């Protein structure tokens, strides 16, 4: 069977359009973060660098030497504080933490935001339901975080009793999942 150049061109347009539709449908399942599309085929670092709301977090990850770790296979669950979350810290805190002599402290704080394994919102909710309404997660830093629900919102409480609201859940990555939070957690 022979096809005319016009038929081939039309078929190409249809295939391209349907492929684009699939890509858009897949992207629609993953929320936008910081004005940027988050692609489930990219790793945590490759997505985070595109979020205008996470420039401080990206700078901190680089200063702590955690880029290679967060680009590895994981999987990881990351509670990712926004720039506004870092801005809530006392004046000068971020600048102090970014200094080379404070790398160990910075690393401890950042790894406190990472839980080994991939836990989406449904997984966290199931763990909370099985444990009296609170999911206790052990961080890569070694200390626990407690995730709980109030109304329709979910919160993460740190070891010092501070709480962060999960503002965007289930931002899927090739090596885990990010949950955006509005406050920096402290071990």
Task: Supply the pLDDT for residue 10.
Answer: 33
pLDDT in tens, 32-91: 788 888 888 898 998 898 888 899 999 999 999 999 898 988 899 999 999 999 999 999
Note the pLDDT tens digit of each residue in 171-187: 999 999 999 999 999 99
Q: Is 100 left (phi over 0), alpha (psi -120 to 50) or beta?
A: alpha
Is the CB of residue 97 less than 8 Å from the CB of residue 121? Answer: no
pLDDT at 23: 32
HSE-CB for 187 with a 13 A CA cutoff? 19
pLDDT for residue 33: 87
pTM over 0.85: no
Q: How far is CA 79 from CA 23, 44, 106, 140, in A?
A: 26, 11, 15, 12
pLDDT of residue 87: 94
């Amino acid at each position: 069977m022979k096809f005319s150049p016009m038929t081939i061109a039309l078929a190409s347009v249809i295939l391209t359009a349907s492929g684009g539709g699939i890509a858009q449908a897949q992207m629609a399942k993953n929320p936008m973060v910081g004005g940027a599309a988050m692609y489930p085929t990219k790793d945590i670092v490759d997505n985070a660098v595109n979020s205008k709301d996470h420039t401080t977090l990206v700078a901190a990850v680089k200063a702590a030497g955690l880029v290679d770790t967060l680009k590895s296979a994981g999987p990881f669950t990351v509670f990712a504080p926004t720039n506004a979350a870092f801005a809530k810290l006392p004046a000068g805190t971020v600048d102090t933490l970014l200094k080379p002599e404070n790398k160990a402290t910075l690393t401890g704080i950042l790894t406190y935001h990472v839980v080994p394994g991939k836990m989406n919102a449904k997984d966290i909710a199931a763990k909370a339901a099985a444990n009296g309404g609170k999911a206790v997660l052990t961080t890569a830093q070694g200390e626990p975080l407690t995730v709980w629900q109030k109304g329709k919102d979910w919160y993460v409480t740190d070891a010092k009793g501070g709480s962060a609201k999960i503002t965007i859940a289930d931002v899927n990555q090739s090596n885990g999942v990010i949950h955006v939070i509005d406050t920096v957690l402290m071990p």
